[in-house]
Chains A and B, each alone.
Chain A
């Protein structure tokens, strides 16, 4: 009796410790970014593009990277959704547990695990072969590839979690599988789909390696799909690499902006998922 209680207590402490570790790391990251980035964060950072001498510590901001990142991740997420939703529906509502579905899931899981620099290199090679230069379009395409497995598998999981009886109810009324998928399955899984979209967007907007060669970098605001575009992760990377403390501090400010964007999208999707789950059957 005594020993079992000891065990119980031991594991309770262990649980609390690991919980504290997770929260602690999150807190530490936030504090670092805030403490180091906040002093450099001002209105000019958010509303201006880099002026001459910006990378030596003179005037300007990172609006080019903010807008660039939103375009890149937004475009990529939309594209990945357009490709991934039909795949997820096909997997969850048609193929279900068949061998083909297993093969597709395995392929997606492998793709999920591939490091983003490999996507970047692959995209770069492909673009060279096609005679494309680093551009917004190139970045969007490669980021979409990077996001596709995450988005698709996350949606596939929520669709698979859905009780089969809901689908059956629709089929019992003489609905086709497609009608059932578009009118019932998507509605039932909408909160999960929103969460999946956020996950993919978060991965896309935070990735530096895949856009390094494919989207390039520029001090200008994006104007064309075929021109290079700046991004926040690369803004952090380049500025942190300069020898000037003022510029390094701006790297943290850029990181802070990136974190806040992800936070806003995260909270926004939570809110949206809550609203969307009004009709969901549990």
Chain B
């Protein structure tokens, strides 16, 4: 397997509470990896370890290694902003920035040095198109982002995240706040995007996992119970607990 992210002996703590226990994982490149497991098993915590977000919570601690393209993102001296730039994030609920639709997408570009009008405009349009939002907003680019429906806001967040050209996309139940049509939109985008990006998606919707996953990770109480290609895990789970979860016994 061509691993984009390699996780070695990863432990994560909230104070004394050990939320992740000796995680060993390889996350494949240019595929959709789905993380499943009952609520509280550590899915969100694992995602937060991949873009150095866990440290935003006070009192958290990590041991072990997370290698992205072979480089330890927790090594001393690494530039956190550089790590985060390479890792896009779609949250559970979309939170646009307090600015116009246009500026939401331009924000990351401006921060990373693209300031010229023409170049900026072209880039904003491109990423809105990639996120499948351009047609709906092209006439009101300078209106507040809050005027969009929640589904459109999530696609705006996708465009905004893609604009800084990440290599890895993280989604923490990104469709759970959306209506079914909007959720479908996002799913379709993710399928299109996996050619260019490695996607890691947390979901508790089994059917969504089956529609999207190339690779599946099943977690339980802070541990990885089973990880493997989607068809194998879904059709022939090796672990009893995975089977129980897939049969809806949690």
User: Hey, which bits of chain A sit against chain B, CB under 8 A?
Assistant: 96-98, 163-166, 168-176, 179, 183-184, 187-188, 278-282
Contacts and interface: CB of A to CB of B under 8 A. Distances in A.
Nearest to B89: A172
Nearest to B170: A172
Interface residues of B, number: 33
B161 interface: yes
Contacts of A171: 53, 56, 84
Nearest to A172: B89
Interface in B89-109: 89, 91, 93, 95-100, 107-108
B105 to A, nearest CB: 10
B144 A278 contact: yes
B85 interface: yes
A272 B122 CA distance: 33
A279 B100 contact: yes
Main secondary structure of the interface of A (DSSP, over half): helix
Nearest to B146: A281
B236 interface: no
A239 to B, nearest CB: 47
Interface string B101-120: 00000011001100000000
A162 to B, nearest CB: 9
Contacts of B157: 169
A175 B160 CA distance: 13
A278 B100 CA distance: 9
B99 A187 contact: yes
B152 interface: no
B82 A279 contact: no
Contact of B84 (A96, A98, A172): A172
Given A174-B84, A174-B111, A278-B144, 11 more contacts: A166-B95, A168-B56, A173-B84, A174-B81, A174-B83, A175-B107, A175-B108, A183-B111, A187-B97, A281-B97, A281-B146
Q: Nearest 3 CB-CB pairs, A to B?
A: A174-B85, A173-B108, A172-B89
Given A165-B91, A165-B93, A170 B107 contact: yes
Contacts of B112: 174
Contacts of B111: 173-175, 179, 183
B190 interface: no
A279 B144 contact: yes
Contact of A175 (B51, B81, B93): B81
A170 B97 contact: yes
Contacts of A176: 81
B145 interface: yes
B88 interface: yes
A279 B100 CA distance: 7
Contacts of A168: 53, 56, 89, 91, 95
A172 B53 contact: yes
Contacts of A97: 58
A127 to B, nearest CB: 43
Interface string B31-66: 000000000000000000001010010100000000
A257 to B, nearest CB: 37
Contacts of A174: 81-86, 108, 111-112, 164
- Give the most central of B84, B87, B98, B163: most A CB within 10 Å: B98
A237 to B, nearest CB: 44
12 contacts: A96-B58, A166-B98, A171-B84, A172-B84, A173-B85, A173-B108, A174-B111, A175-B81, A279-B98, A279-B144, A279-B145, A281-B96
A174 B166 CA distance: 10
B98 A187 contact: yes
A281 B98 contact: yes
Interface string B132-149: 000000000000111000
